[in-house]
Amino acid sequence: MKIKHLLFSLFLLATVQVLVAQTIVGSKHDFSTATWNTSGEICKVCHVPHGAVVLASAPLWSHTLSTATYTVYSSPTTNAGTPAGTIGQPSASTKLCLSCHDNTVAVGGTTFIGTVGSPVGYANTGIDLSNDHPVSFTYDAALVALDPGLKPVTALSGIGTGTIASSMLFAGKMECASCHNVHNGAGIAHLLVKTNAASALCLTCHIK
């Protein structure tokens, strides 16, 4: 009986350690010790319980959104027509990412901190996204027909038991969050949703 209790305790400990590893705590988005974060809190940098910005794509959002106009990715496929292939201005949750990462709004530009400068080492994409992976575009059968180098959205993603459509797309679109999980450190570099060893993440959607 004691051995069973010991094994069960070890199982619980391992489970807790895995759960802790899969949270924002200690990840790149844990700003609790940043000098500009006077609250010392983790969640409050992006979310507040009162006085939040009302957004359908983000609950209780606290950060100022960018009003920039972006230069977006362009290619023969993405310029092929409407709706397949068309890339417009960033939308949905991608706008939330850019509100910190395009360097037009200070990281501390929130409803509770005020505006301060960006910290050293801050990941800055700027407003020219033409040399970055396209975002906020519809990924569907019509797009795959335009680019045979893409896998169908019904292909397994390797993220749990989901497909590209169910585990990587948001309202049918590829967004920043398709490849990055802002709340999940999980020990994977760059907050990726899965490892990119041997280009595994890239090859989830691309046939090369």
Could you tell me the sign of the dihedral formed by the alpha carbons of 159, 183, 27, 109, in that order? positive
111 has a pLDDT exceeding 70: no
Q: What angle do CA 164, 166, 69 make, to 5 degrees?
A: 75
Query: How confident is the model at residue 128, as a pLDDT?
Result: 92
6 has a pLDDT exceeding 50: no
Total-model pTM: 0.79
Query: How confident is the model at residue 199, as a pLDDT?
Result: 95
Assess whether the previous peptide bond of 83 is cis (omega < 30° from 0).
Answer: yes
Query: How confident is the model at residue 83, as a pLDDT?
Result: 67
82 compared with 18, residue with greater pLDDT: 82
User: What CA–CA distance (Å, rounded) separates 23 from 10?
Assistant: 21
182 compared with 5, residue with greater pLDDT: 182
Residues in the chain: 208
pLDDT above 70 coverage of the chain, percent: 77
pLDDT in tens, 26-66: 888 888 888 878 888 888 888 888 888 877 777 888 888 88
User: What CA–CA distance (Å, rounded) separates 16 from 145?
Assistant: 45
What number is the average pLDDT over the span 199-205?
A: 96
Query: Which structure tokens are listed for 131?
Result: 């040399």
SS3 of 136, please? coil
152 has a pLDDT exceeding 90: yes
Query: How confident is the model at residue 117, as a pLDDT?
Result: 43
Q: What is the mean pLDDT of the chain?
A: 79
14 has a pLDDT exceeding 50: no
37 compared with 141, residue with greater pLDDT: 141
User: What CA–CA distance (Å, rounded) separates 174 from 178?
Assistant: 6
Question: Measuring CA to CA, how many Å separate 71 from each of 8, 17, 96, 134, 167?
Answer: 55, 42, 17, 11, 27
pLDDT in tens, 116-134: 444 444 567 889 999 999 9
Asked if residue 143 lies in contact with residue 173, where contact means CB atoms within 8 angstroms, the answer is: no
